[in-house]
Amino acid sequence: MNVLNIALFEMKRDLRDRRTLLFMLAFPIVLILILGTALTNAFHTGIEVGEMKLLVNNTARSEQLQSYWNGFAHTIGKEGVELTPAASGIDGKKAVADNQFTAYAEIDDNGIRFYGSSRDTIASNIIQGMLTSFADKYNLAAAAVRNNPEAAHAIIAGSTSAGSFVQESSLDPDRKPSSIDYYAIAESTMIAFYACMSASWLIRGEVKRKTAIRLAAAPVGKMEIFAGKVIASTIINFLCILAVVLFSKYAFNANWGDHLGSVFLLLFTEVLLAVSFGLGIAFLFKDDAVNAVMMIFVQVASMIGGAYFPVDEASGFFGAIANISPLRWANEALMNLIYNNDLYAVFPVIGLNTAIAAAFLAFVAIAMRKREAF
């Protein structure tokens, strides 16, 4: 009962602390908005394709091939490929090398020879893909003519419909984080870790405020006070994170995936880790040093954890440092959960967070018991 009373009182006090509350709510939301907007281009995966100019030297005599080619040329013309018949005597390969054309194709009854530009490889590859597709379909139609002329007609007719020569394909085209998506995750995990700052004051604050004297003189155990405070701090900080996640989801349309329960469970354990870490640091260091140590650790962990810019696979010293950031574990696990649907990615992080939190809490509990008063 005392634990509950202490926890409720602590939560009430936290809710009255408007400055901290505002910071915990507004800071991540503003960061999501600013970084998410400012760094949109850094997360844009589209590629601009330049002009696609195809120089064609068509010497084929087959009527069937000519007819099919004309249909193909018309179709890819509508897709943005500019076809130019090669004038006699022109050196197509040189024209491509001189960057006058994206690609050069020689067509005769034996097949198609293709020369692409090495300067504009993307446009060149697209044209090559189209020609490969044309060749495959023509070969198919030519084979069908021998056995089933009607089917051959259908193949040719179908092949000339717009867009059938180039198809966009991707493993999971919709599941790529936009900048807002990324920063919604990164800032939420960052602010979850900021809980360590307020947690470092849970016991220290009572000593500074002198209310520790009353608490110590009251018939309640130190462990009851400790438990009440940890519970309150974890709940209040988690509620702030919950608000940030839901706000980013509905106000910014940030993608939090289909497993919100797992997302919240991971964030909850991260808050628990932060609270226990804050308490632990407050017991490990002297009063003046606590704030400095905490601020340095939080900022470094945020930076290398990807709170301000995405941190890709790092190696060497930076990689080793980056791997000790709880924010990095959380961010990677959430990315895997949301974008690869990997439900099992979060469990090792949940386990690690809980284990470290338990270790810090045990340390603080023992240290408190040993201390006279607080």
Quick check: 193 and 269 in contact, CB under 8 A? no
What mask, x for binding other proteins by CB under 8 A, covers residues 217 to 246? xxxx--------------------------
Q: Is 369 in the site for other proteins (CB under 8 A)?
A: no
Cα Rg of the chain, angstroms: 32
Distances (CA, A) of 345 to 175, 260, 311, 336: 16, 14, 18, 6
Q: Is 214 in the site for other proteins (CB under 8 A)?
A: yes
Q: Is 367 in the site for other proteins (CB under 8 A)?
A: no
Q: Is 213 in the site for other proteins (CB under 8 A)?
A: yes
Member of 11, 21, 25, 216 binding other proteins (CB under 8 A): 216
Q: How far apart are CA 308 and CA 111, in angstroms?
A: 54
Report the run of H or E that residue 106 belongs to, with start and end.
Answer: strand 103-108
Q: Which of residues 180-209 bind other proteins (CB under 8 A)?
A: 209
Q: Is 373 in the site for other proteins (CB under 8 A)?
A: yes
Which tokens hold the place of 215? 């608490």
**Size of interface with other proteins, in residues (CB under 8 A):** 22
Q: How far apart are CA 211 and CA 205, in angstroms?
A: 9
Report the run of H or E that residue 335 belongs to, with start and end.
Answer: helix 326-339
Quick check: 53 and 80 in contact, CB under 8 A? no
Q: Which is nearer to other proteins, 17 or 91 (CB)?
A: 17
Q: Which is nearer to other proteins, 46 or 219 (CB)?
A: 219
Q: What is the DSSP letter of 86?
A: P
Q: Which is nearer to other proteins, 78 or 210 (CB)?
A: 210
Member of 17, 82, 287, 342 binding other proteins (CB under 8 A): 17
Angle between helices 2-16 and 18-38 (to 10 degrees): 60
Q: Is 19 in the site for other proteins (CB under 8 A)?
A: no
Q: Is 368 in the site for other proteins (CB under 8 A)?
A: no
Q: How far apart are CA 16 and CA 114, in angstroms?
A: 73
At its nearest, how many Å lie between other proteins and the CB of residue 331? 34
Q: How far apart are CA 263 and CA 298, in angstroms?
A: 21
Member of 13, 74, 119, 369 binding other proteins (CB under 8 A): 13
Member of 33, 73, 135, 215 binding other proteins (CB under 8 A): 215
Which tokens hold the place of 367? 């240290």
Q: Which is nearer to other proteins, 74 or 208 (CB)?
A: 208
Write out the DSSP string of 176-198: ---HHHHHHHHHHHHHHHTHHHH
Q: Which is nearer to other proteins, 97 or 207 (CB)?
A: 207
Site of interaction with other proteins (CB under 8 A): 1-2, 5-6, 9, 12-13, 16-17, 209-211, 213-220, 372-373
